[in-house]
Amino acid sequence: MNENKALQPTSIIIFGATGDLAKRKLFPAFYNLFIEGRMPEQFNIVALGRAEKDNDDFKNYIKENLVLFSRNQVSIDTEWEKFQSHITYFRHQIDEENSYKELDEKLKTLDNDYGIRANRLFYLSIAPNFVSIISGHLKNAGLAPNPAQDRIIIEKPFGHDKSSAIELNSLLSRTFEEEQIYRIDHYLGKETVQNILAFRFGNSIFEPLWNCKYVESVQITVAEEVGVESRGGFYEGTGALKDMIQNHLLQVLCMIAMEQPASLDAGEIRDRKVDVLKSIRRIPLDRVSHYAVRGQYGKGTLDGKDLKAYREEDGVAPDSNTETFAAIKFYLDNERWEGVPFYVRTGKRMKEKHSYITIQFKPLPQSTFIAGKHPLSQNKLIINIQPLMDIRLQFMTKKPGLTVELKPVEMVFDYFSCKEDTPEAYETLLLDALEGDLTLFMRSDQVEEAWDVVKNIQEYWENNPDPSFPNYAAGSNGPEQCELLLQREEHSWV
């Protein structure tokens, strides 16, 4: 059953269709949307690649990867046969004008097949340095002239600092209107991240407590067990600050800290996120070391396996100053969050993979149970993003028995207990792009403000190498200085 009959016919053009992202995420996402009736009734995925490939060989390649990466089991059945009929491999050279003329002819042929000028969704699954080249050729060939029908999806990183982000926004604006540009951050497509807004604004019991009067601190953690693996060359020019904090973690912070939107309109929600980014207190250059901690993993062990240091990874300089760990304390200068520290941290080669948000509520100012043998644990709200997917409210209760003893307990909403199969983040975001919903995509001013938030930290770290690197062992919880960041406020990581 097709639930998206209202969607216009759509041509989906994937630049870099033979790459890793396309095989692991994009084609599995489109396949899952298709078998669940979420794709337009008429669509075609035009897979662009430089290599000479037979169409059937490419489809077999896609099917093999669907078996590996799709959440839905793939077999030789009617669903696959139907889906593969919507895929066309098209040889294309990114920097050749003639290739875009041929692509234009192909898209016009598809329009004739549909019987209508179809929507066009261009997905740039390519290295960032090709964005300007493709954008220019799309303009020159007149491939995306209609703001109501033609859209472009761009992967992060969106620039490498504020000035480059402004330049890229300016370049894209010559070809596309802002409402055509979908700057994708897959983290915002995760089910647990999306649920933050529903949880906050759909429940009357939490929103009255969501402010500086009751919240002591907020922590956002994204820890990874893996190192840089085969991405050493890329990571050398990126680091944890740009790879994770500037986009993923700041976007999550916005969802935690934003004011209630007047409606679910994409512009309204994105306005409220920009308000948060503008309110984040900028850290002066001479105070970066007080508010931010960086780290780089050295040798270590995890589960009995020896792990090499970051500087020993392929593509990494032996004296690299690139951080693989970053922790920052932010303050928001607005009425709701005055004086509440927002701690964010991320790292590679950590002890365990775990992404979560902790809302730490203030202790009771006075209580019968505080003194003596009845210590109280502070109330916490924990939103687990991965690998756990749940929301936990921690509070105190009396132990069963004849004496009055207290213990902390949890109420848990677990996504894995739901019967519904949770979609992958890319499925959510691609469906939104097909439907023209910009809510979960970053606007140009969001991108520029996010870069501005980390601008001084980025500049200080680039110009002042850390002589202590490597300063944490692979398989550990990060550098010791990270604990001091919280201890100054008499806080600790949850």
Cα separation, 249 vs 241, in Å, equals 10
Going from the C-alpha of 216 to that of each of 12, 90, 306, 391, the distances in angstroms are 47, 56, 39, 19
Cα 361 off chain centre by = 26
- Catalytic: 248? yes
**Paired strand residues for 410:** 394
CB 458 within 8 A of CB 241: yes
Handedness of CA 226, 124, 45, 56 (dihedral sign): negative
Cβ neighbours for 417, distance < 8 A, ≥ 6 positions apart: none
Given the residues 248, 290, 354, 491, select the one marked as catalytic.
248
* Positions marked active-site: 248
